[in-house]
Amino acid sequence: MTSPSQLELTAHPAIAASPFGPVRAGVQFAADGGLLLHYEITSPPATLRLPAPATPAFADELWQHTCCEAFVAPVGGTAYREFNFSPSGEWAVYDFSDYRQRLAAPPPARAPVINSQASATGLILRATLPPGLLPDGDAWQIGLTLVLETMAGEKSWWALTHTAAQPDFHPLASFTLALNRKDALINS
C-alpha cells in the first residue's frame, strides 16, 4: 500500500503566528474500501503538547488538545460525519444533519485504528477508517484538519482551506478534497 499524497494545511489567519510547520495531511482508499488518513506535523523540539497515552476508546472533546480530524460529506447533501483522532489513541465520531446540527447517536460499534509516532521534531499520525464508519455513498467531499496545542497551552487550527472569519472546520465549503471510489483522489 502506498502512502497517501500529502497536502499542505495552513493555520487559520486569525491566529497569531504558529511555531508549527509544515503541516501535511493525506487520504486514500484502503484495499477493503475504508480510508487511510495520514497527518504529519513538524514542530520545534519541546513545542507540541501531546495528550498522554490512553486506552483506545471513544472520548468527547478531543479537539480541546492536539487532535487530527477529518470531515466527510456525501456529495450533494448537507449531512456529514466528523472524525477525531487523538495521539493518545482515543477517538470520536459524530454525525451532523447540517452545519453544526449534531444528531444524537451512540458511538459506533467499530472504531478507527490510530497509530501515532512522536519525536523531538513532530508527530506522524495514521488513522484507518473501516468501510462501515464511512457515510453512505461513493463520492465525498472531505475536510482534513488539525488542532495543535503548544506546551504553553496556545492553540492553532489547521486546514486545507479556511472559509470562516474565526476557526471553524464545519462549513461544507471547507470540505475541498473530492474522493470518489470510482475515480480515486481528485483535487477540486
Report the alpha-carbon distance of residue 129 to residue 71 in Å, rounded. Answer: 12
**Contact assessment for residue 123 and residue 50, using Cβ atoms and an 8 Å cutoff:** yes
pLDDT tens, position by position, 58-78: 999 999 999 999 999 999 999
Q: Which domains does the chain have, with CATH numbers?
A: 7-187 (2.60.40.1190)
pTM higher than the cut 0.95:
no
Burial 134-145 (b: 16+ CB within 10 A, else e): beeeeebbbbbb
Cα–Cα distance measured from residue 20 to residue 42, given in angstroms and rounded to the nearest whole number: 6
> What is the pLDDT, as a whole number, of residue 15?
83
Sign of the CA dihedral with 73 first, then 174, 170, and 83 last: positive
**Residue positions counted in the chain:** 188
Q: What is the pLDDT of residues 110-145, one digit of tens each?
A: 899 999 999 989 999 999 999 999 999 889 999 999
